[in-house]
């Protein structure tokens, strides 16, 4: 997991996130706004209450969170294989 160390809400449903490895950038989450559980953001000030959760997730409440790995890939522009090089090597054993 790419551990976020700081998250800041910006206008227009955007987040500035800084990760433990120094990667920092802005992710546009507008495509999630006004839909499903993200309707929480429609409440005044709700989007601004973003924080880093206990497991490293980016969260607004106990029920509304995003995977920090997905945000890391978006912000860094890296491919999954670059960030998780051994992912394809996993095998299932019965």
Locus of tokens 């670059």: 82
The sheet carrying 51-52 orders its strands as 51-52, 58-59, 65-66
Query: What pLDDT digit, counting tens, does each position of 9-62 carry?
Result: 999 999 999 999 999 999 999 999 999 999 999 999 999 999 999 999 999 998
- Predicted pLDDT at 16: 98
How confident is the model at residue 85, as a pLDDT?
A: 81
Classify 4-78 by CATH class: alpha beta
Q: How far apart are the C-alpha atoms of 42 and 80, rounded to whole Å? A: 32
The reported pLDDT for the residue numbered 76 is: 93
Distances (CA, A) of 53 to 38, 49, 71: 17, 12, 14
Q: Are 68 and 1 in contact (CB under 8 A)?
A: yes
Helix (H, G, I), strand (E, B) or coil at 19: strand
pLDDT tens-digit series, residues 68-86: 999 999 999 988 888 888 8
Residues 6+ apart with CB under 8 A from 69: 1, 2, 83
* Domain ranges for the chain: 4-78
Could you tell me the sign of the dihedral formed by the alpha carbons of 21, 22, 27, 29, in that order? positive
Confidence of residue 88 (pLDDT cuts 50, 70, 90): low
Amino acid 29: pLDDT: 96
């Amino acid at each position: 997991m790419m551990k976020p160390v700081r998250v800041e809400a910006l206008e227009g449903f955007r987040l500035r996130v800084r990760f433990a490895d120094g990667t920092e950038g802005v992710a546009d989450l507008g495509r999630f706004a006004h839909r499903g559980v993200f309707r929480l953001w429609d409440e005044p000030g709700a989007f601004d209450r973003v924080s880093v959760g206990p497991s490293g997730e980016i969260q607004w409440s106990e029920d509304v969170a995003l995977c920090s790995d997905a945000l890391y890939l978006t912000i860094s522009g890296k491919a999954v294989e670059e960030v998780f090089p051994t992912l394809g090597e996993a095998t299932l054993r019965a």
